[in-house]
Structure 1
């Protein structure tokens, strides 16, 4: 990030720390499983804690991570299965490849002109077939198949798939990573914008503004991502790294759950859980440093002032002698 971006990020992180946007564990229990006993923050803090995080270094920047936090990003991704006959017959008709378009459930509530611009761009690219999750009914015209729901993971794993146009939801991004499909991002809200920034930074694809794009711009960007081998190389390389690991995300999560069930979590319990907040943020250390610096400056100031007075006194004494 640039210096300004880091400044803004620091402010936002501090605000999020003071006023978290996520509800507490106790509130979630009370809302969704009220028949279960309430769990307070102090009880949670002292319990066997294991954080299974839907994240991966391939879809994030290098981060410091606690010993009880396990990265298991891509839990929903899996090998592709056969497509149903109706979709498979449409896929086979594609000449140069298939483009999957899935922009989340928000598509049902956004302005119709956005959907019309997307379809207009797809119609200009007759050499590709587009499967677009849009609307409530199945409809096919030309090289576009509109579906109310689509088997996204199975389509991304199809040999003819060349591009994934996505809103950058976490699961969608991991499915594309799993199958090695470059992306054209249309982030809308929440973590989607940061996911899109990572896609750009890691060379998995490019990003566009869903509220400000032209038909020709979309056509040009689809061609760029599909025909520029750099994007395909980056995502395929990341996919190979993902698959090279000795455990799948599901196996990794299961292993750690079994381990905690068997032995507890004392052996990887972070010391930070038992630290006062001011120690955790090293405020006591910074305070001592600050007091030390202030005292040093004060002593130096007094010493210099004394030296100046001493010099002036000697000078006055010499003048009187003369």
Structure 2
């Protein structure tokens, strides 16, 4: 959260008074880089429920008790998946340290410095993270690499997922219904929303890739006049696409996606084969997870994605029955896991309001990075071992000298 947003939240006593007067039962707050929001929510003095859209990663994860060191777990924006080699653990550690430095010495310090201008006493931000009453994750265990999770975390990823419905846009509906070929959906969420040079280059490569293939393609993009003239007959450009309805359409055979968390969840739910073109944040990790599940074969770098490569990957994936088998398997698993999720979620929220969640706290928020990874303990044992080695070596040298001169002493005595 930037400094302007901090000023808006903490510098407006009327906002705080209005919220306090309404007697809310709980506050739900996004935890991602939101120290100011945490400070503000503590002023309401009501049960606090945290929300993480992309799962328990980064420093937020550690402070809420999701103890995932870089030796066993993927780190945010590392694009590694589960680390298997020394170099991967090293890169994951570098990412973890960078995240720690940014969180501690930039984001949190900015929040605290602004809070000090308006509050007589600023609460400990890390303690606020650690003492949340409930944490809701917008991700899902299927689309995340396995992680350690605190008991007070509830995953509700794909809460919004539903079976496909009849498409209301007549042009789009007829484009799919009348297609004699498999249909490809290419959608990149807000990544393509600003229509910059970067996005327009990717659009042109996608259109070139499908132009001569026996497919139809729906691409979510708002073209300019020049791009409209380049659109092939088998391509439909739309400003917005009802993604779940298109993914669940019987003619849809492949999904080209940036692998944002919502798109990843919907792809799994609707048993879609995927070609990934991740842009930033968690998207690379999501793509690697889909590859690990066997519903994705190809991950493209958007900076160098070429039409020839995209066309080849499309042809390969359309013929790959193994991808579809895995997609159906994990779609069924996800749908089974979501049965009754609404009731479970409401019950957990009501429990957090009624009983709070302090009995489930993991005190990791009290520890600095050296204590958390027991580096201080390791250093203590290292010093202890060195001291013991020094004492042992000194005793050995003295004993050795004594045993060497012992015969001489005996001769002189005789």
TM-score (norm 2): 0.67
Cα shift at 1:173: 0.6
**Which residue of structure 2 lines up, in the alignment, with residue 175 of structure 1?**
266
Counting only pairs closer than 5 Å after superposition, residues 173-212 of structure 1 correspond to structure 2 as 173-205=264-296, 206-212=298-304
Counting only pairs closer than 5 Å after superposition, residues 99-248 of structure 1 correspond to structure 2 as 99-107=184-192, 108-111=195-198, 112-125=200-213, 127-136=214-223, 141-205=232-296, 206-245=298-337, 247=339
Greater CA drift, 281-290 or 271-280: 271-280
**Which residue of structure 1 lines up, in the alignment, with residue 43 of structure 2?**
none
Q: Distance in 2 between matches of 1:96 and 1:215?
A: 20
Cα shift at 1:291: 3.0
Q: Distance in 1 between matches of 2:157 and 2:127?
A: 27
- Does the 8 A contact of 1:48 with 1:260 survive in 2? no
- Does the 8 A contact of 2:127 with 2:365 survive in 1? no
**Which residue of structure 1 lines up, in the alignment, with residue 87 of structure 2?**
4
Runs of at least 5 residues in structure 1 that lack an aligned partner in the other structure: none
Q: Distance in 2 between matches of 1:229 and 1:315?
A: 86
TM-score (norm 1): 0.85
Q: Distance in 1 between matches of 2:146 and 2:324?
A: 22
Cα shift at 1:279: 4.3
- Summarize deviations over 1:126-162 as a string: whole Å, max 9, x none: x211000122579674211001111112111112211
**Which residue of structure 1 lines up, in the alignment, with residue 357 of structure 2?**
265
Paired residue for 2:174, among 89, 108, 111?
Answer: 89
- Does the 8 A contact of 1:26 with 1:41 survive in 2? no
**Which residue of structure 1 lines up, in the alignment, with residue 67 of structure 2?**
none
Cα shift at 1:7: 0.9
Closer, same or farther: CA 319–83 of 1 in aligned 2, 3 Å: farther
Runs of at least 5 residues in structure 2 that lack an aligned partner in the other structure: 1-82
Cα shift at 1:264: 1.3
Cα shift at 1:223: 1.6
Q: Pairwise CA RMSD of aligned residues?
A: 3.2
